[in-house]
Chain A
Amino acid sequence: QIQLVQSGPELKKPGESVKISCKASGYTFTDYAMHWVKQAPGKGLKWMGWINTYTGKPTYADDFKGRFVFSLEASASTANLQISNLKNEDTATYFCARIAGSPWYFDYWGQGVMVTVSS
């Protein structure tokens, strides 16, 4: 069955970097784009952008340009999100989500990775 399995929780200090992963299984990885979504504690969902899993080209929402990098390990069917120079406001759960082609909705989601930034 189709699954998106994300890496485990992270505790980091301000200024550090973090890389979280999203491993896909049960389908051809390069057939579907992967999106990233942020959810701050007690808050709603915010779209961060997406990566074309066929070409590797990332697209970032305005609020996520600069310190955020989407990348792939296509041979491992894995999408990664790296955040550099972490700030307290990066404390959140980060989800990967696959978008279903023509209907354009997120048909499968990862379980989320809690990233805590604290000194």
Chain B
Amino acid sequence: QITLTQQAESLWISPGERVSITCRASQSLLYTDGKHYLSWYQQRPGQTTKALIYHASVRTDGVPTRFIGSGSGTEFTLSIEHVQPEDFAIYYCLQTLKSPLTFGSGTKLEIK
């Protein structure tokens, strides 16, 4: 199965700063259609889990432009520019290229 590694369990930052969360896959997530099957999700207490990014870099409807997905092959990054108070949450990457679908272990964004 494909393993996704999010090395940072927690990241401490101040509101207004920029942060990058990385996700490394054990094999390439590039499919023959030229797209990467890597998506990012946000979990906040009391809220439903929210999809932020799919195909590694495409924002879902309504997601603010400060959320930026990038990367290719096996290395992916979710960047958040000018972090807002509501962005302090847990972020997960997910690969849907091959079954079983697998998630990264999650990265918690905490207020410094």
Q: Which residues of B contact A100 (CB under 8 A)?
A: 54
Whether A107 pairs with B60 at a CB distance below 8 angstroms is yes
Chain B residues with CB under 8 Å of A105's CB are: 39, 51, 54-55, 60, 94, 96
Interface of A is mostly: strand
Closest to A107 in B: B51
Asked if A76 lies at the interface with its beta carbon under 8 angstroms from chain B, I say: no
Determine if A89 is an interface residue (Cβ-Cβ < 8 Å): no
Contact A106 B39 (CB under 8 A): yes
Point out the residues of chain A lying under 8 angstroms from B48, CB to CB: 108-112
A47 → chain B closest CB, angstroms: 4
Which of A61, A97, A104 counts the most B-chain CB atoms under 10 A from its CB? Answer: A104
Bits for B29-72, please: 1 = Cβ < 8 Å to A, else 0.
00000000101010000001111001100101000000000000
Shortest beta-carbon distance from A20 to chain B in Å: 16
Q: Is A106's CB under 8 angstroms from B106's CB? A: no
B residues contacting the other copy or chain, number (CB 8 A): 22
Complex interface: chain B residues within 8 A of A107 (CB):
51, 60
CA distance A3 to B49 in the complex (A): 12
The CA-CA distance from A74 to B63 in the complex, in Å, is 31
Asked whether, in the complex, the Cβ of B96 is within 8 Å of the Cβ of A44, the reply is: no
Q: Does A67 belong to the interface (CB within 8 Å)?
A: no
Interface code A79-117, partner B: CB below 8 Å = 1, 0 otherwise?
000000000000000010101100111111111100000
**CB distance B54 to A103 under 8 Å?**
yes
The segment out of B20-28, B73-81, B97-105 that lies at the interface is: B97-105
B residues in contact (CB < 8 Å) with A: 37, 39, 41, 48-51, 54-55, 58, 60, 92, 94, 96, 99-106
- Chain A residues within CB distance 8 Å of chain B: 35, 44-47, 59, 61-62, 95, 97, 99-100, 103-112
